[in-house]
Each structure stands twice: as C-alpha cells, then as structure tokens.
Amino acid sequence: MGRITSRRRITRITVGEPPHHREDVLAVEEPLEIRVGGSALTITMRTPGHDFELAAGFLLSEGVIGSGEQLGAIRYCAGATADGEGDGENTFNVLDVTLAPGVAAPDPSLERNFYMTSSCGLCGKASIDAVRTLSVHPVDADPLRVPAELLTTFPDRLRAGQNVFDKTGGLHAAALFDGTTGEMLVLREDVGRHNAVDKVIGWAATEGLVPLRGTVLMVSGRASFELTQKASMAGIPVLAAVSAPSSLAIELAVEVGLTVVGFLRGTSMVVYSGEQRIGAPEATNPREQEALVVR
C-alpha cells in the first residue's frame, strides 16, 4: 500500500519576520489505474488507501455494477510500463477488477480519453450523454425525513474524523450517516472529492448495503454535479455539503428526486431541492423559515 502522507522541507515566510525552515506534511497524490477483466478503464489521481473501495464505488457510480454482489474479485497488479505490460514490480497503483459471472463488461463509451484529475471526476468523459447514467436505485420515493437539528451535527462530526486532514490540511472528506439515528457509518478522505465519495459508496457496496436508503451523504466541499450523480446511483436520498451546490447538480437532483442541502454550517443550512425530507424546526420569525428553505 502506498503512503498517505509525505514530508517535505519548506520555508514559511511571514512579512516582518525571518524565514522559518521546517518539515511539513503533504497529502500524497498518486495515479490509480482501474482495469476490468484486464482491460484499462480509467486512471484517477487519488490518495492511496481504500483503493478496492474506490474501484467498487467508481464502477457503481458509472453503472457498471448495481451492487457489491456483481463484483467478483479485486486485486493489485504489477506496475504498467509504457507499452502497457507489467514490469513485475507491484506499485499498488494498478487494480484489476473481475466482475461476477453474468455481469456485462463496461460499455466502451465509459472509457476516459484523459486522466481524471483529483479535482474533477468528469474530465475526459467520452460522451456527455454517459454522465446522466440511469440509476437502478431510484431515490424519489425514499420516505426519509431528517430533523434539521440532527443534520446540523454532521459537519462537526465529519471534521472530527478527518485525521489526515489534521496533518496536511489538503484532503476532502465524505461520510455516510444514518438519516434516522444520526450514526456515522463510514468516513473516507482523499485529495479528490469524487474519490472520497467513491470510497464511501464502495465500502457500502462491499458491505452489501446498496441501495443506501435512508442515509445522508455529507461532503466537506461543494455539492457538484458528479457528487449528485454518485449519490443517485447509490440510492442515497440526501446529499449535504458545507459549501455551495452547482446549478447542474440541482437540475439533476430535481430530476431524480434527491434532496440537496448546501451551506450546512453551525445551525443554518440552505435546502435547494427535496425540502420535504428536512424536518425544519418551527420558526418564530417567518423570514427565518424562508431563509432555511430555498427552492
């Protein structure tokens, strides 16, 4: 397994003070090639760790599989050389996934033309049509209702679990919560927000928990289209973020019946879609209620 962090000698400069030299801790970013049945499907830049979950979550998010039962085996391969052949040295940066018997191989249209960077899980899509993958786990009828007071506790609990972020300050995080009890089921960190979510979904798939009905996906950054898509594919009815959503994320959320909450900080939040799932407290001031829910 590759390193999660690395050390680098740095110079800290503060105006009016002498330079200070010391070692700093950085989050590691390395490529991971995901193969299916020996054929390369994608390369993503990620923080090493929970790679099998990352691969499983990616395949579920792309519609290659619908549950963990459709996975056969996942293994590390020898590192790939320029001609695509293994050089015999296991770098833990190449994975090969074997699908369960009877599960169709990925559609060629899913193949990426470029590397997926850690900041964008959709870069290099062969076709924009492939983005709106039809989920086999619809969320529109999920009856979950989350009390607003409970939802406001999730960001602090997410932050408290970011162990690697505490050391580096350079990782995104995603966590899955039980929307009824508030129990945090799993938390994952990565340099890529989409990778952190794939690791969460992959964990759930390998645990046999997909579809993830009655759950809330909490992310440390913004709610992008790709994260809304991943939540939909896994059957997660509520996506909550500490920052803003994008317009396309909300368009998709409305289309599939998913609840998106943004700017979840302190005791406030903004609900952009699916407001029926958020149990808002009674507001003494009508304007306070209007500020809580934005359609």
Beta-strand ranges (E) seen in the chain are 5-12, 20-27, 30-36, 39-46, 71-76, 94-99, 146-147, 172-178, 184-190, 215-219, 238-241, 259-265, 268-273, 278-279
* Catalytic-labelled residue, pool 25, 120, 123, 248: 120
Helices assigned H by DSSP within the chain:
51-61, 148-151, 154-160, 163-168, 193-206, 225-234, 247-256, 286-292
Helix axes 247-256, 225-234, angle to 10 degrees: 20
Beta carbons of 118 and 134 less than 8 angstroms apart: no
Q: What are φ and ψ of residue 94, in 5° steps? A: -135, 125
120 as an active site residue: the answer is yes
Which tokens hold the place of 185?
């089921």
Kindly state the DSSP code that residue 180 receives in the 8-state scheme. T
Instruction: Respond yes or no on whether the N-terminal peptide bond of residue 108 is cis (omega within 30° of 0).
Output: no
Beta carbons of 256 and 239 less than 8 angstroms apart: no
Active-site residue numbers? 120
